[in-house]
Amino acid sequence: MDQSLRSCKRFVHLDLKGAPPRIGYLIELIQLFADLGANGLLIEYEDMFPYEGKLKVLQSTTQPPYTREEIVSIQDAASSRGLEIIPLVQTFGHLEFVLKHEVFRDLREVDYCLGTLNPHRDAGVRLVQEMLQQVMKLHPKSTSLHIGADEVYMLGHGDESKHWLDLPGRSVHQLFLSHVIKVAKGIRESAPKLNLIMWDDMLRSMTSETIKESGLVGLVQPMLWDYSPTLDVGNTVMLMERYKSAGISQQWAASSFKGSNTVHTCVTSTQRHLDNHFQWLKVASSLSAGIKLQGIALTGWQRYDHLSVLCELMPVGLPSLGSCLQTLLHGGFTEEAQKKVVEILGTVDVEDIERLSSSFAGAKLAELIVKLTSLLESAELRHFQNNMFVRGWFTPYHRQKKTINPLIAQQIKTQATIILDDVESQVQDVRGEMRLLYSDSTVQEWVDQHITPVLEPLHNLSRDIETVLNGMGLCTESIS
């Protein structure tokens, strides 16, 4: 049984750039995280932070950001349960929520990539420093800060970067490291004791000598992220040993409990995420004594980036989260671990809705989403275009020629209407429950992204049938 992950900090990642919960529900969630075994929160506010001054433009326009008082209440709720808070503020990549604004357009590395900051502009460094200062000022008790720096796409492709790289001996690795170090040193000037963390993916292809010679060592600690259920234990251990040989002994891990399957997933698979944690347990137990594992962040992505579709909502991810936290606590998904999750949530798998407890925050919504998703994924709905009547009497040829057997038209319309009415009834139930936990804009976005595209072919088919029948001087009512 592994000891190193059992004893280290377990941070639940709150990705608030999509479906940010109403503050009352968020406070309930924090209590639940603690009950399930968390002792920290990694909070990524993005556009839900109440930025002030010239940064006010960064605030969400689809719903009001959390107020300063609400952010204090989040910290109070966490503190009351012994949960440490680490804010996460992106400073290089994934800055879509900043660089999408016209006022910051000239700070992009390349104009068509909204996520990557141009590392050559002093204004860009000042911008991220101001973001960091505003966030940390509102988190005076936090002793650590995550500065992001993952997936810095298109770095080196901008004109200024190309010019910089033309000089002999310069590389994209050095370009990346110089910006991160500049940001980190700027933070250290005003907060010398603040512990800084960064995502590690941009470091993975670097040699230990490159990292060691850069000046990064002692400034920032890497958080290695891998969300795969088949995480390569050997390669991950080798990577962590390489960071250690560069002089970085304090390292972090990042697993996943939701939001890392496919970009549009609605229902979380507990087993997939448990498998990811089993692999991380193997990694932790294989590390040499010189590596000091500081903690693990269980990521729960709500979007892949600022502009992508919503991933699974938090309520459907809670059984997975509980199972993963308890697995870390017990060194495996033991009977004891399962018993604890079942005691709080009723089940370890959100799809087991018969056993899902109705007592935890968001349980009703989770149940409704699972039922609705099952209907949306049914063969009857997904493959309606392939049923006998549509394939036989209303093919694209028939639509083009605007002809149909009226009797068959009624059959198709009746079947489509039954399905659509059933879905709409369940959607209304989901809307009602979701509004209790999320803003109206989130509810509408979720429906538009996950429901509307699935139903659109049926609606189009029904409209086309009506058009053809009207052209024939008939309507479905007259032949019913």
pLDDT of residue 1: 40
- Measured CA to CA in angstroms, residue 242 lies from 151, 207, 279 at distances of 20, 8, 19
Residue 130 catalytic? no
Task: Name the active-site residue from 151, 241, 351, 466.
Answer: 151
3-state class (DSSP) for residue 144: strand
| DSSP sequence for 233-287 | HHHHHHHHHHHHHTT--EEEEEEEEES-SSTT--S--HHHHHHHHHHHHHHHHHS
Q: For the chain, which residues score pLDDT lower than 50?
A: 1
Tokens of 116: 């990557």
Spatial neighbors of 473 by CB under 8 A, at least 6 apart, are none
pLDDT of residue 465: 86
- Measured CA to CA in angstroms, residue 366 lies from 155, 242, 421 at distances of 40, 42, 21
What pTM does this model have? 0.94
Q: How far apart are CA 89 and CA 115, in angstroms?
A: 13
- Measured CA to CA in angstroms, residue 315 lies from 211, 302, 442, 454 at distances of 40, 12, 14, 22
Rg, C-alpha atoms of the chain: 26
pLDDT of residue 476: 59
Phi, psi of 20 (to 5 degrees): -65, 125
* pLDDT digits 0-9 by tens, 72-112: 999 999 999 999 999 999 999 999 999 999 999 999 999 99
The β-bridge partners of 117 are 108
The β-bridge partners of 14 are 43
Upper half-sphere CA count for residue 248 (Cβ side, 13 Å): 31
Task: Judge contact between 63 and 22, C-beta under 8 A.
Answer: no
Q: How far apart are CA 355 and CA 269, in angstroms?
A: 16
* pLDDT digits 0-9 by tens, 198-232: 999 999 999 999 999 999 999 999 999 999 999 99
Q: Residue written as tokens 């326009």?
A: 61
Tell which residue, 395, 466, 368, 456, has the closest CA to residue 420: 456
Tell which residue, 147, 172, 174, 173, has the closest CA to residue 158: 172
